[in-house]
Amino acid sequence: MAITKTLSEAVPYNKDSKVQQWDLQMKYEEGADATYYTMEMRATIPATAPDGSVNFTPKPEDDWTLAQLTALCPISTWDATFDSMYASVITNPPNKPVPDPDYVIPS
């Protein structure tokens, strides 16, 4: 089954009627029934990063499209995180110890 990614939250931080920062959240889902797994990823994206690089040009919040908001998300990082978590929880879960109720204490 394919991974479903849905932008589930987008909170703009405005200054002078233009978005200066976005808080974005994306919901990842994969599988069904016993193999179903979901995870929420979150990122805060400022217009200008601390290193001075420009993430986006501030503009009014009504001018943003879903595609533009999605493009701001660190998808490759989130994909890798989700894949790793899905593998460890669903595909290759850790072997858990099994109790042996018939064990006899040595005398």
Phi-psi region of 89 (alpha: psi -120 to 50; beta: other; left: phi over 0): alpha
Q: How does pLDDT run along the chain (107 residues), one tens digit per residue?
A: 588 999 999 999 999 999 999 999 999 998 887 778 899 999 999 999 999 999 999 999 999 999 999 999 999 999 999 989 888 877 666 677 888 899 999 98
Backbone angles phi, psi at 105, to 5 degrees: -70, 130
Strands 18-30 and 4-15: antiparallel
pLDDT at 94: 65
DSSP 8-state class, residue 63: G
SS3 82: helix
Backbone angles phi, psi at 81, to 5 degrees: -65, -50
